[in-house]
Structure 1
Amino acid sequence: MKTHRLNELPAWQAAALLQRRELQAEDLLRACLERIEAREPDVHAFAVLDADAALAEARSLDAGALRGPLHGLPLGVKDLFDTVDLPTAYGTPIYAGHRPAADAAAVALCREAGAVLLGKTVSTELATMQPGPTRNPHDFAHTPGGSSSGSVAAVADFMLPLALGTQTAGSIIRPAAYCGLVGYKPSLGRVPRAGIKLQSESCDTAGGFGRSVRDVALLGATLLDDPRLNDARAPEAPRIGLAPTPQWPQADADMQRVWTEAVRALAPLAADCCDAALPEGFAELVALQKAVMCFEAARSLTHERVHHRERLSPALRAMLDEGLAIDGVRHAGHLRSVAQWRLRIDALLKRHDVLLTPSTIGTAPLFETTGDPVFCRAWSLLGLPCIHLPFGFGANGLPVGLQLVGRQGDDHGLLAAAQWVHERLEG
């Protein structure tokens, strides 16, 4: 293999070569660095890079024993995760130069498994909607999505095989859709959040990006401490519930076409492929997620809004003000509603192994916005595992695809079904 192509290896394949010592970690890292040197001036995926430290770690891994399943894989980490050896600014100048005392738990787990931390990837402002500098590598005039913008762009542009992200509303699934990657948001609570800048206690979830289902399964197995995820093969065809959701009228022509193509391809092959009867009132979950997120963000970010309000973007100030307009009694009622909705969807998912649903309204919009997470909000609020599967392109040549939603806690089942579905959609 030519060195300059090593950076294009899927993470699972590079991992297998590294485990067999048929690939050196330093060679893989140098290939990634060559790509970064060529493309980073245009893509702006990184908040900070430390090539020298990463190369030293790669050499140490090559000289020592195999450390774990991520041995030698270069990793990007969203600038929302604390890192002990790199500054962590959470996407805002308020924390410029901030040096945490310890790694976030998810980062520490990846390092323990042998990953090589190459740099911190750009996060939007405190993981909200204000665009950062990162561009969509498919077309620099368009957004890569947010808030995990740098992570998704770095993997999509072959700068890295894997990267960590977070999702509160749609910050993994939406960027994955806009950049043509597989994005995996695990079940709420299965990945430790220690050391991640918190926005919403009820919704925040750490996950990541790869270029295949097997890539994110490899990462997920480490983050969730669940080796079953590495065997992401469905023992039989899954039962697929079709859930375009009440927001379907917002889907554009590209999304409607991709949906039709997917259903046509899957229906003859799945164990069952039928409409999922979403409970009455499901449309209300979009507004409910916004209310819960805004209330919790206004409290989680109290220090920033009290002491640094003038340094926050107008959009973030408006979001926090919206949250302050909700009191704790009303929020407690919202949380009771969320608990009831989780029971209703659990009952629905007894009839389906996974739900097929849109990821986005369509392809990536222009750079001035990070896009609308309307098709992700309900699933984030419910805490369900989700995965975006890319398999098509819009009329403008930008990527488009769909997401699968699984049962709470059944990440292995979701990834197995996703592998089955993706193989048939890509074919």
Structure 2
Amino acid sequence: TAVDLARACLDRIAEREPHVQAFVHRDADAAMARARALDAGPLRGLLHGLPFGVKDLFDTFDAPTGYGSPIYAAQQPLADAAAVALCREAGAVLLGKTVTTELANMHPGVTRNPHNLSHTPGGSSSGSAAAVADGMLPLALGTQTAGSLIRPAAFCGVVGYKPSHNRVPKAGVKSLSETLDTVGGFGRCVRDVALLGAVLTGDRRLTDPAAFEQPAQPRVGFCQTPEWAAADDDTRQTWELATRALASHGAVMAWPAELTGLMGVQKQVQAYETARSLTHERLHHTAQLSAPLQSLIADGLAVSGEAHAKNLLTTAHARQHVAQWFKDCDVLLCPSSVGEAPAGLASTGDPVFCRTWTLLGLPCVHLPFTRGQSGLPVGLQLVGAYGDDHRLLAAAHHVHESLMRAGSQAS
């Protein structure tokens, strides 16, 4: 029953939350009341009775929303963000608000990696990824502007799904960058995030049983990206393991020289748009902004409107170019992170392998399947063509099964 599942999750939270610190707000009474009401009524939708967590960047009418910043401590919105409302309409049970980094940027929150409490869970969707990884929740919402879904999924060893840009409504989510902000989420397997994605996008093709159950061998393009030099030994060994496992239906994809500067474009676009989105905070609450965020805002203010317009044009041209790649492959296999979650809590890690895909607006799925030298999770991401989220998720399901077998044999 919904009551049984909610109680099991709340028991797990009570046991582990003092160590992991994934939540900023919980309401067990409201969750149990919602679960009882669901058990007493008809099926509500695809998420009927499933507990979920919400990154504290999303407005919620019945829980405070602080955006990870002291500026908004105890703020109480009047309405749910659209994504939250869609999940509730589909029968989901909100268990709590999860930790985000400060205004979804790089300054870390208090959450720890459940696999090793002295390591970062990544960011900015740190609490959501950690809660799913530690068995507190089956599903959780997050956002990505640079690497805030894929990187914490990689560090915490869960499946993270970043939909195609603008496939999910962003109303009621604190805005940083209209060009980059994307709503997505975390689950324990591909089919779980596909279920969540179908609710968020309204596209039932994401959960088409035939696509998941019929044997399939998607054409995989092995794409190390221009940032490959940043990969450490764990990611390189994971890459070798994966490419061997997928060799029968994969091929190396060379990155065109004319697109090697896209990561720099993403950084400028993010800085420019964040500086303007946070104008109120800059003008009235500068002292309450962290030094790293103040530095990012300063960088953004130094970018001219003319330069930003040029960056957007470069991005549009790159998107057209990249769309042609998927004539020769169904999905791209790419690194998700530099390696294992770094030790310490002062940093959330480097989003180097996520920035370009976020700029291009392509759907991405992180697939965990092995561990690094320190015993922490390592995996890779699949990237799909824009708008082909249903094909990406179906391919990811089959590819993940192959990679899990390879990881199991290697260990």
| TM-score, length basis structure 1 | 0.93
1:389 lines up with 2:367 in the alignment: yes
Alignment of 1:372-387 (within 5 A): 372-387=350-365
Deviation string 1:378-403 (CA, Å, 9 cap, x unpaired) is 00000000000000000000000000
1:109 counterpart letter in structure 2: L
Q: Tell me the CA shift for residue 283 of structure 1.
A: 2.6
* Equivalent residue, structure 1, for 2:218: 238
> In 2, distance between residues paired with 1:350 and 1:191?
25
Contact 1:388-1:401 at 8 Å conserved across structures: yes
* Equivalent residue, structure 2, for 1:180: 157
Secondary structure of 1:215 counterpart? helix
Alignment of 1:193-204 (within 5 A): 193-204=170-181
Q: Tell me the CA shift for residue 173 of structure 1.
A: 0.3
Alignment of 1:32-47 (within 5 A): 32-47=9-24
1:421 lines up with 2:389 in the alignment: no
* Equivalent residue, structure 1, for 2:296: 319
2:360 counterpart letter in structure 1: L
Which consecutive aligned stretches of 4+ in structure 1 deviate over 3 angstroms post-superposition? none
1:145 counterpart letter in structure 2: G
1:277 lines up with 2:218 in the alignment: no
> In 2, distance between residues paired with 1:103 and 1:264?
46
* Equivalent residue, structure 1, for 2:323: 346
> In 2, distance between residues paired with 1:235 and 1:411?
18
* Equivalent residue, structure 1, for 2:64: 87
Secondary structure of 1:323 counterpart? helix
Contact 2:198-2:205 at 8 Å conserved across structures: yes
2:348 counterpart letter in structure 1: T
Secondary structure of 2:80 counterpart? coil
* Equivalent residue, structure 2, for 1:404: 382
> In 2, distance between residues paired with 1:285 and 1:375?
11
Aligned partner (choices 196, 201, 208) of residue 224 of structure 1: 201
1:247 lines up with 2:224 in the alignment: no
Contact 1:177-1:399 at 8 Å conserved across structures: yes
Secondary structure of 2:261 counterpart? helix
Secondary structure of 1:349 counterpart? helix
1:422 counterpart letter in structure 2: H
Q: Tell me the CA shift for residue 327 of structure 1.
A: 1.3
Q: Tell me the CA shift for residue 246 of structure 1.
A: 1.2
> In 1, distance between residues paired with 2:219 and 2:403?
16
Q: Tell me the CA shift for residue 96 of structure 1.
A: 0.7
Contact 1:279-1:344 at 8 Å conserved across structures: no
1:304 counterpart letter in structure 2: E
* Equivalent residue, structure 1, for 2:37: 60
> In 2, distance between residues paired with 1:259 and 1:281?
25
Q: Tell me the CA shift for residue 236 of structure 1.
A: 3.1
Secondary structure of 2:257 counterpart? coil
Secondary structure of 2:260 counterpart? helix
Deviation string 1:348-392 (CA, Å, 9 cap, x unpaired) is 122111100000000000222100000000000000000000000
2:90 counterpart letter in structure 1: A
Secondary structure of 2:333 counterpart? strand
Q: Tell me the CA shift for residue 277 of structure 1.
A: 2.5
Moved more, 347-356 or 295-304: 347-356
* Equivalent residue, structure 1, for 2:4: 27
Contact 1:278-1:348 at 8 Å conserved across structures: no
Secondary structure of 2:161 counterpart? strand
Q: Tell me the CA shift for residue 282 of structure 1.
A: 2.7
> In 2, distance between residues paired with 1:279 and 1:264?
24
Give the number of equivalent residue pairs: 401
| Pairwise CA RMSD | 0.8
> In 2, distance between residues paired with 1:331 and 1:105?
29
> In 2, distance between residues paired with 1:298 and 1:170?
18
Secondary structure of 1:274 counterpart? strand
* Equivalent residue, structure 1, for 2:139: 162
> In 2, distance between residues paired with 1:246 and 1:97?
43
> In 1, distance between residues paired with 2:319 and 2:252?
19
Secondary structure of 1:241 counterpart? strand
Secondary structure of 2:11 counterpart? helix
> In 2, distance between residues paired with 1:409 and 1:27?
37
1:63 counterpart letter in structure 2: A
Q: Tell me the CA shift for residue 281 of structure 1.
A: 3.2
> In 1, distance between residues paired with 2:104 and 2:260?
25
Secondary structure of 1:69 counterpart? coil
Contact 1:90-1:197 at 8 Å conserved across structures: yes
> In 2, distance between residues paired with 1:393 and 1:253?
12
1:261 lines up with 2:241 in the alignment: yes
Q: Tell me the CA shift for residue 235 of structure 1.
A: 6.0
Q: Tell me the CA shift for residue 329 of structure 1.
A: 1.0
> In 1, distance between residues paired with 2:69 and 2:260?
33
Deviation string 1:162-186 (CA, Å, 9 cap, x unpaired) is 0000000000000000000000000
> In 2, distance between residues paired with 1:125 and 1:340?
32
2:241 counterpart letter in structure 1: E
Structure 1: runs of 5 or more not aligned: 1-23
> In 2, distance between residues paired with 1:302 and 1:71?
40
Contact 2:226-2:255 at 8 Å conserved across structures: no
